Chain A
């Protein structure tokens, strides 16, 4: 901390911090379509990317934006797009293509009130389940939530790293509050940032089998044009990338898609505990609500309640081991969310311990306040 404090503090918006994170992670292609409250990501990247030899394209819509980043990534360039709810809906089809073709890419969804055009300038957390299951079919996906400008930077780097390492699309869920809040941040120097690149084939091109299984379940990925035969399709395919209807090939393929993420579970599962050591009640939160909860648990402790907080950065794959430990430890768990209750269902799903789990929801476009969470904790405990 003291080391960090010696570095320069700057004022950054969450959206600007996403840009810094993306560039630090090696993102060199962005295609997007402007939308409140995500537009600043496009705005800043449109200036920054060309200066460092990257490409920025404003596409005709979000369907094309998602298509463009899948294409750029297949050509070997780290790619990202950013949008909000309405655009995220349009991206779902091509997002599924990225899942089945195992194309690394990062999609930032800055959540605003929905459904449809909804509340463009208000924060919400209504897209959690869409991030998980928005595209059709059984598919693994990684969903990360951010709560501060610093996390916008760090988690965007992490998103690229996970995406490259596991060849899976990664969704970053931000929200209007995080995206538009400007706050003092000290960014780590570039040489302290871990950047992971996808594994590329090291064998001669004629030996390359693009979807061949290995111990990690993640085949090396050639860039289109590098001289390796690499057939890409949205159909379920065999190890050579060509469509198959053979049951054992289908089964092996879909299983591997899930296995590669499951095997990396411990690395992918990112959570943070606050005052949990002696806690008997806990708040489980993500996104901007974490910030309210941080204050709420201190307020509750001032009132004699041993409250703690579990922050979920990884929402999917759902970090069930950590959540289960909190459920085992506490007699009461509160899940505050700016939606009608999406992660609270996940918490209840893994609650095998008879723990009292309650949700607390706001759907009026306002951030949940520390007071509300504290009062809910105190009144529920009687």
Chain B
């Protein structure tokens, strides 16, 4: 009911605990902060368990100081499993975009979606499914253009554990490559389904 100004760009990363959801969001937020152009606010919610359970992280980007730190109208939802896709899809704004890991999500609620097998790509290209989060981050960076891939890469190299830099970098770049195959112009304009002709 409240009228909102288009002063924010909001991204939500979601999946299960252990998929690196929060790490991906932190790397993105740090890269954006480092570029010095925009304000950024990164929040998270997770259960008390170390693995499993649901995991969600949000990144809000704005030219102005950010008041409410969480998502109000979701621009992009990354769903790394079916449960999070089902739970959070309704929060997408009509012109928002759904990005799913098609390795783990097979029921996709809208045609305005980008479906990429992040986990599979991680295993094939980088050798570990652990870095599916970075493959997904690559796709998110390419699709949203909220930060240049170069700026993100330097943050990523500094942020990931020593010795895993190349693997993470490889994963990130393969995510960008995978997302390049999609043309956002070809997607329907909104996430609400078309009236079906009977």
- Chain A interface residues (CB < 8 Å from chain B): 8-11, 36, 120-122, 177, 180-184, 288, 291-292, 294-296, 299, 302-303, 367, 369-371, 374-375
* Closest CB in chain A relative to B102 CB, distance in Å: 29
Q: With A181-B41, A183-B66 in contact, is A121–B2 under 8 Å at CB?
A: no
**Contact between A11 and B68, CB atoms less than 8 A apart:** no
**Contact between A294 and B69, CB atoms less than 8 A apart:** no
10 A–B contacts from the bound complex (CB under 8 Å): A177-B69, A181-B43, A183-B69, A184-B40, A296-B2, A302-B2, A302-B3, A369-B68, A370-B2, A374-B1
Q: With A11-B29, A184-B40 in contact, is A288–B67 under 8 Å at CB?
A: no
A-facing residues in B68-114 (Cβ within 8 Å) = 68-70, 72
**Contact between A180 and B44, CB atoms less than 8 A apart:** yes
**Contact between A182 and B42, CB atoms less than 8 A apart:** yes
* B42 touches which of A36, A181, A296, A374 (Cβ 8 Å): A181
Chain B residues with CB below 8 A from A36, complex form = 48
Chain B residues with CB below 8 A from A369, complex form = 68, 70, 72
> Is B127 an interface residue, CB under 8 A from the partner?
no
Alpha-carbon distance between A122 and B39 when the two chains are bound, in angstroms: 24
- Closest residue of A by beta carbon distance from B33: A11
**Contact between B48 and A182, CB atoms less than 8 A apart:** no
**Contact between B45 and A121, CB atoms less than 8 A apart:** yes
> Is B136 an interface residue, CB under 8 A from the partner?
no
Chain B residues with CB below 8 A from A288, complex form = 69
**Contact between B40 and A183, CB atoms less than 8 A apart:** yes
Q: With A11-B30, A183-B39 in contact, is A294–B3 under 8 Å at CB?
A: no
Closest 9 CB pairs of A and B: A11-B33, A299-B2, A294-B67, A182-B42, A183-B41, A295-B67, A295-B68, A184-B33, A291-B67
* A367 touches which of B30, B41, B42, B70 (Cβ 8 Å): B70
Chain B residues with CB below 8 A from A177, complex form = 43, 69
**Contact between A121 and B66, CB atoms less than 8 A apart:** no
**Contact between A120 and B48, CB atoms less than 8 A apart:** yes
Chain A residues with CB below 8 A from B34, complex form = 11
Q: With A9-B33, A11-B40 in contact, is A181–B2 under 8 Å at CB?
A: no
**Contact between B45 and A10, CB atoms less than 8 A apart:** no
Chain B residues with CB below 8 A from A375, complex form = 1
Chain B residues with CB below 8 A from A8, complex form = 36
Q: Is chain A's interface secondary structure helix, strand, loop, or mixed overall? A: mixed
Chain B residues with CB below 8 A from A184, complex form = 33, 38-41
**Contact between A10 and B67, CB atoms less than 8 A apart:** no
Chain A residues with CB below 8 A from B4, complex form = 299
Flag B1-13 by CB within 8 Å of A: 1 or 0 each. 1111000000000
Chain A residues with CB below 8 A from B47, complex form = 121
Q: With A288-B69, A292-B68, A369-B68 in contact, is A182–B26 under 8 Å at CB?
A: yes
Alpha-carbon distance between A292 and B47 when the two chains are bound, in angstroms: 23
Alpha-carbon distance between A47 and B16 when the two chains are bound, in angstroms: 31
- Closest residue of A by beta carbon distance from B26: A182
**Contact between B42 and A183, CB atoms less than 8 A apart:** yes
Chain B residues with CB below 8 A from A183, complex form = 39-42, 66, 69
- Closest residue of A by beta carbon distance from B49: A121
Chain B residues with CB below 8 A from A11, complex form = 29-30, 33-34, 40, 42
**Which residue, of A9, A11, A120, A292, has the highest number of chain B Cβ atoms within 10 A?**
A11
**Contact between A370 and B68, CB atoms less than 8 A apart:** yes
Chain A residues with CB below 8 A from B46, complex form = 121
Chain A residues with CB below 8 A from B26, complex form = 182
Chain A residues with CB below 8 A from B45, complex form = 121-122
Alpha-carbon distance between A371 and B73 when the two chains are bound, in angstroms: 11
Alpha-carbon distance between A180 and B26 when the two chains are bound, in angstroms: 11
Chain B residues with CB below 8 A from A367, complex form = 69-70
* Closest CB in chain A relative to B6 CB, distance in Å: 14
**Contact between B33 and A10, CB atoms less than 8 A apart:** yes
Chain A residues with CB below 8 A from B67, complex form = 291-292, 294-295, 370
Alpha-carbon distance between A24 and B3 when the two chains are bound, in angstroms: 41
Q: With A181-B69, A183-B39, A294-B67 in contact, is A371–B33 under 8 Å at CB?
A: no
With contacts A121-B46, A183-B42, A302-B3 known, what are 15 further pairs, Cβ within 8 A? A8-B36, A9-B33, A177-B43, A182-B29, A182-B30, A183-B39, A183-B66, A291-B66, A291-B67, A294-B68, A299-B3, A367-B70, A370-B2, A370-B67, A374-B2
Alpha-carbon distance between A367 and B67 when the two chains are bound, in angstroms: 13
Alpha-carbon distance between A11 and B29 when the two chains are bound, in angstroms: 8
